[in-house]
Amino acid sequence: MAEVLNPDIKRPKTAPEPPDNASGVTPSKPQFGKGQPAHYCGKPGRSGAKPGNLNGLKNGSGLSRRLVIGNLPKQLISVRNEGRSYRRALEAELMRVKGEIDLTAAHHIDTASAATVSAGIARWLLREKIGEMTTSDVLACSREITKSKQARDAAVRALGLDAKDEVPPWAVPIEVERSESTEDAQ
């Protein structure tokens, strides 16, 4: 039988735990949010960007068939963003045209976006460091821009995005009737 506690009876209080450190403050677990433990990473399945949202990406490791360009110095953030934007545009166009991105297409997209970044780096060098460059350095950067654009164009051409047999939606088939006078002239 359980003992019933009488509120009128005074019981001794338990002594508080002594502090573990010399400062006299009882240590607690480190907390990053209000009432959250140090290892708190959000609610599983509910935190972070929604599936398909590419804005929440940090490195692209959570996506299948996506190759990561890599990190560039802070001065070249705009070049990195240009390459990533070009990659997303190519991926979206390929998904629209073909409905999937296979492994070969992923490599062609990676080649095209890397070539875009390479051309952007060469353009940045010409824009920012031209005063320190020799004539041969300037020519090398110009050649690199041209080579990068040719590599990008070849990679995009290999994706086969130009559908020649597809009729544009605004095209209307026209039937030409031949008259007898035009047939006699030929």
pLDDT per residue as tens digits for the range 112-161:
999 999 999 999 999 999 999 999 999 999 999 999 999 999 999 999 88
- Tens digits of pLDDT across the chain (186 residues): 555 666 666 666 665 555 555 555 555 555 555 666 666 666 766 776 676 677 666 655 555 555 454 577 888 999 999 999 999 999 999 998 888 888 999 999 999 999 999 999 999 999 999 999 999 999 999 999 999 999 999 999 999 888 666 666 677 777 777 766 655 555
The pTM of this model reads 0.52
Residue 87 sits at the vertex; the CA angle it makes with 81 and 88, to the nearest 5 degrees, is 90
